[in-house]
Amino acid sequence: MPNYIVATTKPWNIEYFEQWKKNQQDNWYLFSEVEQLNLARIKEITPRYIFFPHWSWIVPKEIFKNYECVCFHMTDVPYGRGGTPLQNLITRGHKETKISSLKMTEILDAGPVYFKSSLSLHGAAQEIYERATPIIFEMIEQIVAETPIPKEQIGHIETFKRRTPEQSCLPLKGGLKELYDHIRMLDAHSYPNAELTHGEFKLLFKDAKFEDGNLTATVYVEQNKDKHD
C-alpha cells in the first residue's frame, strides 16, 4: 500500500486526522512536531505525497525537491500569496475565499494548483480554521484518488504581508463593524489576540459578537509584563 505523510502542528488538524485515518486503507503517518520533518525519516517512509495543512515553517528544499509536497493556502492564488492570509482577507472586507492546494516550490505560495475549494470567512478565526479542516482533508482524498497534474497559477499576483504582533493592538478609530472584524480575526489558538494596553495591565479581547449594531466581547486581563518590569 502507498505511504503518505500529513504534517501539521495545529491541534484541531491533529484531532481530525486521528479520526479520519481510521477510514483510510493506505498507510498514513502524522508529523505533529517540526523536528519530525527530516529527510532521513522521510526516506524511511518513502511517501507518495506529503501534505501540509496549516504548516507555518519553511520546508527544506531537499524535501520538496525529492518528494511531492502539497501545501494549502487560504486564498484564491495568485491573489493573496504570503503571510497571515485569513487576517489579510478579513481586513480587506472579504466574506469568503478559496482554499488552494498547491505543489510546493521554492517561491512561497507560487506553486501550481491541484484544486480550489470555497470557504466562508464568517465567525471567529478559530471557527474558520476548524471549518477549513474537513475541506482540506477532502482535497487530500481527491489528490490521492486522482493523482492530478497541478496547473500553473493564472492571473494578477498580489502578495500579502505577514502581520506583526504589534498590529494586534485595537485600532484608534473606525466603525464598530471594523472593530468586530479586528477582534474575531485574531481569536484563534496560538495567535496573538486583539489587545489594549492600560498602564500595567493588558486587556485581551475574544468571543466578539456584532448584532443589531452593538458590539460585545469577552475581556481577559493580564499583567503587562513589559510595563511591570
Q: Does residue 168 have a pLDDT over 60?
A: yes
Q: Does residue 225 have a pLDDT over 80?
A: no
Q: pLDDT tens for residues 92-142?
A: 999 999 999 999 999 999 999 999 999 999 999 999 999 999 999 999 999
Q: Does residue 54 have a pLDDT over 70?
A: yes
> Rounded to whole angstroms, how far apart are CA atoms 98 and 175?
27
What are the DSSP calls for 6-56, one per residue? EE---HHHHHHHHHHHTT--SEEEEE-SGGG--HHHHHHH--SEEEETT--
Q: pLDDT tens for residues 192-215?
A: 999 999 999 999 999 999 999 999
Q: Where residue 165 falls among pLDDT bands split at 50, 70, 90?
A: confident
Domains and CATH numbers, the chain: 3-160 (3.40.50.170), 165-228 (3.10.25.20)
pLDDT at 228: 46
pLDDT at 227: 56
